[in-house]
Amino acid sequence: MNTDQRIIFANGVFDLLHPGHIKLLQFAKAQGEYLIVGLNSDRSVRELKGPTRPIHSEQDRKIVLESLRFVDEVIIFDEVRPTRLVAELRPHVIVKGDEYSAEEIRRVDEVPEEIEIVLYPVVTDEKNIKISTTTTIRRMQS
């Protein structure tokens, strides 16, 4: 990472990679030169999503994300929120899905004011249903 580069940060579980993930990460990369993806650890995913998640291990999820040409670095973090990692990295921009407001994200994730928050529209399918890993798992179970 070059210190002159505009550093972008996005985070999540990224359990079953789907078009919503890809579009968000492509959008994130377009916001700067160096995209760091914060990846929730297996332990934090269980805390967030329940005992049956994640489907894929943190190392497997990391390998998949690292294979994307627009992702420059993947860092696994063990907390539910990326607060500590953001404080350490000090990215220029954080990209999040727009299911929450920038103000809510700033408050919940304790994002310093000098870090820009850019929202990306939630990706939906042809029936206008949010594309998500949870939705995919439910479809597979029914």
Q: What is the 3-state secondary structure (H, E, C) of the chain?
A: CCCCCCEEEEEECCCCCCHHHHHHHHHHHHCCCEEEEEEECHHHHHHHHCCCCCCCCHHHHHHHHHCCCCCCEEEEECCCCCHHHHHHHCCCEEEEECCCCHHHHHHHCCCCCCCEEEEECCCECCCCCECCHHHHHHHHHC
* Angle at alpha carbon of residue 40, lines to 98 and 90, rounded to 5°: 70
Give the pLDDT mean for 19-48. Answer: 97
Predicted local distance difference test score (pLDDT) of residue 71: 98
Distance of CA 134 to the CA centre of its chain: 15
Give the pLDDT mean for 25-38. Answer: 98
Quick check: 48 pLDDT over 80?
Answer: yes
Query: pTM, whole model, 2 decimals?
Result: 0.92
Predicted local distance difference test score (pLDDT) of residue 125: 83
Query: Using only C-alpha atoms, what is the Rg of the chain?
Result: 15
Domain positions in the chain: 7-141
Q: Are 118 and 95 in contact (CB under 8 A)?
A: yes
Ordered strands of the 34-40 beta sheet: 73-77, 34-40, 7-12, 93-97, 116-120
Give the pLDDT mean for 100-119. Answer: 96
Give the pLDDT mean for 53-58. Answer: 96
Tell me if the domain spanning 7-141 has CATH number 3.40.50.620: yes
